[in-house]
Amino acid sequence: METKKFILSVLPEKLSICHFDKKSPIPGWAMEISFCSITRTKDELSIVCPQDKIPGGVLAEKDWRAFKLEGAPDLFSVGVIASLSQPLAEVGISIFNVSTYETNYILVEEKNLAKAIAVLGKTCEVKNNGNQRQRTS
């Protein structure tokens, strides 16, 4: 089976994953941010957004960085996240995935960003703040 080549862009900002009680209203500060993912379940409210936009006192896991899948496959494509997350898992890098209707974002802790770029660069084209790394294998 031939591995597809994906194009990934590293978003410039540091992100945080915020946790709120399931009954919490969506905070106003989260409504006008350029990158923000809001997910409510019966158990919790989670918000992923740039950490410099989060006010004090919010429970948040800080210092995450995102890879944006460019030219994304359609909504029904199979195995996209697995093909990106598996090589990261093999080297001990955990991910937090955010999916939208049009694309996917793979978040890694900033301390693992350089290693993640190197690993993903083996099968993907990775663009990092205008610095482009070509696929190496």
Residues of the chain under the 70 pLDDT cut:
1-4, 72-76, 130-137
pLDDT at 5: 80
pLDDT at 73: 67
pLDDT at 80: 87
pLDDT at 102: 86
- Model's pTM, two decimal places? 0.87
The residue behind tokens 């996917």 is 104
Complete domains list, the chain, with CATH: 6-133 (3.30.2130.10)
**If phi over 0 gives left and psi between -120 and 50 gives alpha, with beta otherwise, what is residue 63?**
left
The structure tokens listed for 91 are 């080297």
